[in-house]
Amino acid sequence: MPILLPDMEEAALDALRNDRFLRGENVVKFEEEFARFVGTRYAVALSSGTAALDFIFSVLGVSDQKVVTSTWSFIASANSIAHAGGRPVLADISETDYCLDPEQVEQDLEQGARGVLPVHIYGHPVDWDRFEELGQRYRVPVVEDACQAHGARYKGRPVGSLGIAAAFSFYPSKNMTVLGDGGMVTTNDETIAGQVAKIRDQGRSSEYEHDIMGYTARMNTVNAAIGRAQLKHLREWNDRRRVIADSYFRSLTDLTPSIRLPPRPSKDVEPVYHQFVIRSEKRDQLRGYMRDKGVQCNIHYPIPIHLQPLYMSTFGYAGKTFPRSELMARECLSLPMHPFLTDDDVNYVSEQMTAFFRRGA
């Protein structure tokens, strides 16, 4: 649920009236503030999360190389590898956290994959130590897809600062948004930051000179101004999401094993609950029941990437199966989750869930 508060309206109007429409002061400030938030030396603002991923892979140079990512993600994770000329290799998820399974990644690395893109799905940080270890052992870059995980932490370190580079999205449904499309690359690597900044601006080396291939993929100044205002609220919004998640965990525990709750937080893993996703064999009946009771629950995602028509026809995935992701597609249900839900809203959702299972549906 995108949030438009008066401070964001003021920031947007101020940017429109007083800043440059493109390459404005607000863009530079947003990059500095976001880099500080994530704890990296650099942040580069872009027109989308997809552009952020695309350009990281372009700079890493994955042409004709295999890069492994999760089939249980938004399609952009895999597409970005192809956009940069690489070959997306899809792998299944782990049963416990629904993130890319390191065991399967290892098999793909054994078979020649030259990079890994774990996805912090639903705002839940991946088990980073395993990926870091694989990256070092096979000498391949590990890039983070942090598009759903603004503010999540792994062993006290913010996601976005763990890999060689990371991509964030500010699409309106995210934990923070620029109220339009937008993205960010975060990295400690000066070359990656510099090259990504160049690619977003037509590969410009000076005003009328271009020495590498690029695109028009800058972030608009007005969006950056809104992003700065949103960033100020992010910690408080994420805290509220955690309180809501706690409430769901407490009141829905009795419904297990009819439902399966999301992975729990731990001292090492601090999620930000972009989504609160449960599993149930009766997912479709439950969803219909909740809809009748006025509760909108969504499905993220109905189709894993390997079953997308594009991936079956173009990337050779027809007939391939990844059972854990396919099970998720059949059983997953995202409960309402955003920082402006009231306690009454959250209790109502839990009560209706309980009523569904108590009536022996």
Site for ligand PLP in 178-237 (CB under 6 A): 181, 183
Computed from CA positions of residues 293, 294, 295, 297, in that sequence, does the dihedral angle turn out positive or negative?
positive
Distance spanning both ends of the chain, measured CA to CA: 30
Provide, rounded to whole angstroms, the least separation between the CB of residue 274 and ligand PLP.
8
* CA 58 vs CA 85, 86, 205, 227, 315: distances in Å: 8, 9, 17, 26, 19
Q: With respect to ligand PLP, which residue has the nearer C-beta, 24 or 118? A: 118
Q: With respect to ligand PLP, which residue has the nearer C-beta, 53 or 109? A: 53
Provide, rounded to whole angstroms, the least separation between the CB of residue 341 and ligand PLP.
21
Residue 314: what are its φ and ψ, rounded to 5°? Answer: -100, -30
Sheet containing strand 157-158, strands side by side: 157-158, 153-154, 269-270
Provide, rounded to whole angstroms, the least separation between the CB of residue 158 and ligand PLP.
17
Q: With respect to ligand PLP, which residue has the nearer C-beta, 219 or 269? A: 219
Q: What is the largest CA-CA distance in the chain?
A: 70
43: which strand partners? 186
* Contact present, 88 and 63 (Cβ < 8 Å): no
Q: Is 289 in the site for ligand PLP (CB under 6 A)?
A: no
Provide, rounded to whole angstroms, the least separation between the CB of residue 82 and ligand PLP.
13
Pure H helices in 40-183: 49-60, 76-83, 102-110, 128-138
Site for ligand PLP in 148-187 (CB under 6 A): 148, 169, 171, 181, 183
Stretch 105-144: interaction string toward ligand PLP, x if CB under 6 A: --------------x-------------------------
Interface with ligand PLP (CB under 6 A), residue total: 15
Q: With respect to ligand PLP, which residue has the nearer C-beta, 222 or 290? A: 222
Determine the Cα–Cα distance for residues 318 and 91; give it in Å rounded to an integer.
14
Considering only 19, 26, 42, 50, the residue that binds ligand PLP (CB under 6 A) is 50
Provide, rounded to whole angstroms, the least separation between the CB of residue 74 and ligand PLP.
4
DSSP state of 268: S
**Nearest CA-CA partner of 130 in 105, 164, 156:** 105
Q: With respect to ligand PLP, which residue has the nearer C-beta, 77 or 308? A: 77
Determine the Cα–Cα distance for residues 273 and 238; give it in Å rounded to an integer.
8
Element (H, E) at 89: strand 87-91
Instruction: Retrieve residue 123's tokens.
Output: 């705002």
Q: Is 76 in the site for ligand PLP (CB under 6 A)?
A: yes
Provide, rounded to whole angstroms, the least separation between the CB of residue 181 and ligand PLP.
6
Q: Is 325 in the site for ligand PLP (CB under 6 A)?
A: no
DSSP string, 2-35: ----HHHHHHHHHHHHHS-SSS-HHHHHHHHHHH
Q: Is 72 in the site for ligand PLP (CB under 6 A)?
A: no
Considering only 26, 40, 48, 334, the residue that binds ligand PLP (CB under 6 A) is 48
Considering only 147, 192, 231, 335, the residue that binds ligand PLP (CB under 6 A) is 147
Instruction: Retrieve residue 223's tokens.
Output: 């969006």
Determine the Cα–Cα distance for residues 222 and 232; give it in Å rounded to an integer.
16
Q: With respect to ligand PLP, which residue has the nearer C-beta, 122 or 289? A: 122
Q: Is 74 in the site for ligand PLP (CB under 6 A)?
A: yes
Residues making contact with ligand PLP (CB under 6 A) = 48-50, 73-74, 76-77, 119, 145, 147-148, 169, 171, 181, 183
